[in-house]
Structures are given as C-alpha cells and as structure tokens.
Amino acid sequence: MVTGVLPVALEDATKAVQVFLYSGKEYVCLMQLHGDVDDLDVKSILEEFTGEILQRPPLRASVRRDLRKRTIYRISLLEKDGRRVLFRVACQAGTYIRKLCSDVGEALGCGAHMRELRRTRAGPFTEDEHIFTLQQLQEARRLHVEEGCEGPLREAVRPVEEIFKHIPKIYIRDSAVDAVCHGARLAVPGVVKVETGISRLGPAAIFTLKGEVVALARSELSTQEIMEAEKGIAARPVRVIMRPGTYPRRWGGVQEQI
C-alpha cells in the first residue's frame, strides 16, 4: 500500500524528470513490529537512524545491490499502538523505506516490516493545494473538453520550472539562449544573474530572464567564480528542455539583426 506524491511530467517536461533522481523525499510510514517493545525504545532507536546510514538495496531492486550511504535528515515517531508504529521520515533520494523498517526492527531486536507508506514530498512537490487525484484530473479535463472551461485544467498542471525549484539557477541573456538550446556550453559573459549554492561540477539550472527553464546543466564554476570571472565556461547543459528557435539565433557566423 504505497500512496502519495507522484509528479508526472508531460511531453517536453519529461526531459526534466531526472531531477527527481537526486531530490529528497518525505514519507509517513506505518511499520509493524514483530514483538512487543517499549514506546520509548522505539522512539530512541528511530532517532538513532538520523544522519548517515548504510543500506543494501532490496533483492528486487532496479540498482546494483552494493551497500550504499544515504542520509536521513529527520525521523520521528508520530504514534505507537501496540505493535504498530507510525513515523515520519525525511531522507535523501534513493533511500528504501521498506529496508529502513527491517533495519529498525533488527535494531529493536524484535524485527519489523513496512505495512503502509505515503510519500508526502518528492523534491519541491508536497501534499499541498496543488496535489490532484486521477479523478480530479479527469474532471478538470472534462470541464475543459465539454464546457470549454480551462481554469481547473490549468491549475492541475504546474509549469515544468517548478521541478527546478531547489536547483540553483543561472539566468542568462536572451542572446545566449538559443545556443544553449542547441547544447552549447554557457560562457561566463552570457550570465546575467546567478544564485548562491552552485559548486564546481554540481547541478545548476539555466533559466531565461523571463523565468523559463532552458536546460539542466552541470556547473564548471562555483557561484563566486562565476561572479568574478571575465570569460570561460560557466556551465554545460546535460539536458535541454527548451525547444531551439524559441529565442533568436545569435551565435556562430552571421549575427541576425533584430
């Protein structure tokens, strides 16, 4: 029984879904203990899992089963009713909660398994007023098709830019946009504004001055270095989202007069 936040990207926005591979998640989990344990023991053992933990992916996993490090940002007991334990956890991408439950069970000495799981956050997407069920989505679509009312449909769909909410951004000149759309590296003079938090070889999102996403990139310089440099490469696109031709071509040979 797994429910909750599942961002689904449409058409050109699908190019941005790889961002979720690196974005943290939050869950509320119902865990079943296999023996009787004192409430306070459960609370303190759960909290011991805060910070860096080691996990081996489960047998049926889509990744290599090497022991890997994951960070638990926060974990707390919400309720305990006999052998049923409800807890909330915020963790790094790629943390297996089913595995976490069995590891917590082992630490408690009685064993445990995951009964139910609800994801309450995937990166910037949370259980807020913008979360939609399939039925609500269907109704929004029906209102548009049958009654020509586009408001609900527009509201059910968020702009792709929201996926990049937590990725530090580099805002570029109009004249640099089309080159990046064609996969060209972004040179420092093309940068207009830059957010703090960019590190060398770390992720960055290239945006236009109108706030449209152009590409997901890997930065070649830190925020500070981009601010101080006169020339050189600031970032290379790893996934281009904007279609070429959205902005005029102003690179290579002859410059268009606009």
Partner 1 sequence: MTGERPVWEEERELKVRAAVDTDPRFGMRPEDRPLQEHLRLGVVNLDKPPNPSSHQVAAWVKRILGASHVGHGGTLEAAEPGRPDGHRGAACSA
Residues 165-204 that bind partner 1 (CB under 8 A): 165-166, 168, 173-174, 177, 191-197
Q: In what order do the strands lie in the sheet with 25-33?
A: 51-55, 68-81, 84-91, 25-33, 112-122, 125-126
* List 45, 122, 221, 235, residue binding partner 1 (CB under 8 A): 122
Q: Which amino acid is at 244?
A: P
* List 56, 65, 84, 154, residue binding partner 1 (CB under 8 A): 154
Tokens of 131: 């979360």
Q: Which is nearer to partner 1, 36 or 128 (CB)?
A: 128
Binding track, positions 26-45, relative to partner 1; x by CB under 8 A: --------------------
- To the nearest whole angstrom, how small is the minimum distance from the Cβ of residue 36 to partner 1? 17
Does 149 interact with partner 1 (rule: CB under 8 A)?
no
Tokens of 217: 């990139």
Comparing CA positions, the residue from 256, 95, 91, 64 lying closest to residue 179 is: 256
Q: Which is nearer to partner 1, 123 or 237 (CB)?
A: 123
* List 35, 183, 211, 252, residue binding partner 1 (CB under 8 A): 211
Residue 123 burial by Cβ neighbours in a 10 Å radius (0-12, 13-18, 19+): buried
